[in-house]
Amino acid sequence: MQALINARVLTPRGLETGLSVRLQGDAIVDVTRAEQSLHDCELIDLDGLVLAPGFIDLQVNGGGDVLFNDAPNVEALRRIASAHRRFGTTGMLPTLISSDRDVLRAAIDAVRTAMATSVASLLGIHIEGPFIAAARKGVHDPRTFRDIDKADIDLMAAPGHGRTLLTLAPEQVDHARIAQLCQHGIIVAAGHTDASYEVTRAALDAGMSGFTHLFNAMSPLQGRAPGVVGAALEDRSSWCGIIVDGQHVHPAALRIALAAKPRGKVVLVTDAMPPVGGKRNDFRLGGRVITCRDGRCTTVDGVLAGSCLDMASAVRNTVHLLDVPLAEALRMASTYPAAVLGLDKSHGQIAAGYRADLVALDGALEVRSVWCGGIREQHVTAAARAN
C-alpha cells in the first residue's frame, strides 16, 4: 500500500493540506488525516505538490507524433495515451475525425482490443463526424460526409469499447435518430454545425447532451438568431467542451460562457494533434500539411486544425487567462468530464473506492508525477528543471 503525504489535495471542499491518500492496486483506499498510523504503507512525500484527480480529455486526435485517423490500431493508441499521460491525462477518448465506415470500424475495434488488453488511459472513443455540416466543416474532409443509418448506429452501439461520444450536426440528423442514439447509451454532442437555435433546442429535447469545442465550427450567438452558441449557453443541463489555448476562442468569450453555464457544465478539452508529446511540429491530415507553430495548428492557408495543447497547459491557461481558481480549473479537467461520461462514481475524485488515477503538480502547474491505475510515472519537464 502507498500513502501519499504532504500534498495539497483536491477535495470537494477545495485544496486541503494535512491529508494522507492511501492507494492499493488500482484503487484509492481512503483519504485520512496524515497523523493517523501509516506503518503498513510505503510513504511518498509529495513535498507540498498539488495532488488532483488524473485529467480526463474527451477529445484527443493524436499525440506522440501519431494521428488516430492514420493509424486506428492498438499500438497507435498506446503511443497516444503514453504521450498524454506525461501531461497528467489518465483518461481519454481517442478521437476519430470524419472518415468512412471501414476506418470507423477499425477504430472501434482497436479501442475494444486496447481496452481488453489493459492499455492505460482509454475510456472509450469520440467519433467526430462524418454526420456534420459542410458549412462548418473546418478541416474535416467533406467527401466523407454522409447520412447516419442503422449500420452506423449498430457499429457505435456495440459493446466492449467503453463510452462512445458522437459529435454531429443536429440539422443533418433526424431528431428521432438522435433519440435512438441516446437510447443506445451513446453520448451525443453538437459540433461542426450551422443549425439554428430552434433546431438545436429540438435536438437537446431529443436527448443531445453537449457541445463540442464551444464557439468553434458552430453558428454564433446573434441578437435575432441565437444559433448553436445561444442554445448552448441558455441550456442549464447540457455540458460544453472548451479549448483554452488562447487561439481557438478569445478569453472574454470563454469567461462569458463560464458565467452563463451552471458550475460543472464546462469541461476542458485539448483537441490535441500528433505534436503533443511528440518530436515533430508538422503532420498530415487527409493529405494536407498541418504545422504547429506559436501555439497554433493550421493548414498552409491558416485554417485551425486541432491544437498543440496538452491538458496541464489547459489547466494553467484556465487559471491565468480566465481567472478561474485552481481548484475549479482542476475539476474542469477531471471531475466534470468524468460526469459527462457517466463515470463520476469511479473517476474524477480523490475519495475511497475511486480509481487511483492522480496527478501531482508543482507551483508552476507543471506535472511532476502521474498515477494511472495506481502505477506511478515521474516526470520533470524542462520548465520544472529550469526552476
- Single pTM value for the model: 0.96
Determine whether the annotation assigns residue 250 to a binding site.
no
**Whether 18 and 155 share a structural domain:** no
Determine whether the annotation assigns residue 328 to a binding site.
no
Q: How far, in Å, CA of 178 to CA of 213, rounded?
A: 19
**Whether 374 and 296 share a structural domain:** no
Number of domains into which the chain is organized: 2
**Whether 26 and 80 share a structural domain:** no
pLDDT tens for the chain, 387 residues long, are: 999 999 999 999 999 999 999 999 999 999 998 777 787 889 999 999 999 999 999 999 999 999 999 999 999 999 999 999 999 999 999 999 999 999 999 999 999 999 999 888 999 999 999 999 999 999 999 999 999 999 999 999 999 999 999 999 999 999 999 999 999 999 999 999 999 999 999 999 999 999 999 999 999 999 999 999 999 999 999 999 999 999 999 999 999 999 999 999 999 999 999 999 999 999 998 888 999 998 899 999 888 999 999 999 999 999 999 999 999 999 999 999 999 999 999 999 999 999 999 999 999 999 999 999 999 998 655 444 444
Determine whether the annotation assigns residue 163 to a binding site.
no
Angle subtended by helix axes 175-183 and 197-206, to nearest 10: 30
Question: Domain with 66 in it: what CATH number?
Answer: 3.20.20.140
Question: Domain with 370 in it: what CATH number?
Answer: 2.30.40.10
Residue 42: closest CA among 1, 102, 11 = 1
Angle subtended by helix axes 101-116 and 74-85, to nearest 10: 70
**Whether 184 and 125 share a structural domain:** yes
Determine whether the annotation assigns residue 231 to a binding site.
no
Q: Which of 194, 271, 357, 362 is catalytic?
A: 271
Per-residue pLDDT, 155: 97
Q: How far, in Å, CA of 384 to CA of 367, rounded?
A: 8
Segment 278-328, tens digit of pLDDT = 999 999 988 889 999 988 999 998 889 999 999 999 999 999 999 999 999
**Whether 289 and 377 share a structural domain:** no
Segment 151-207, tens digit of pLDDT = 999 999 999 999 999 999 999 999 999 999 999 999 999 999 999 999 999 999 999
Which DSSP helix (H) or strand (E) runs through 185? none
Determine whether the annotation assigns residue 128 to a binding site.
yes
According to DSSP, residue 147 is labeled -
Determine whether the annotation assigns residue 249 to a binding site.
no
Per-residue pLDDT, 39: 79
Q: Residue 328 is which amino acid? A: E
271 is catalytic: yes
Residue-range definition of the domain harbouring residue 367:
2-52+349-386
- Write b or e for each residue in 17-43: b if 16 or more Cβ atoms lie within 10 A of its Cβ, otherwise e: eebbbbbeeebbbebbebeeebeebee
Q: How far, in Å, CA of 293 to CA of 308, rounded?
A: 9
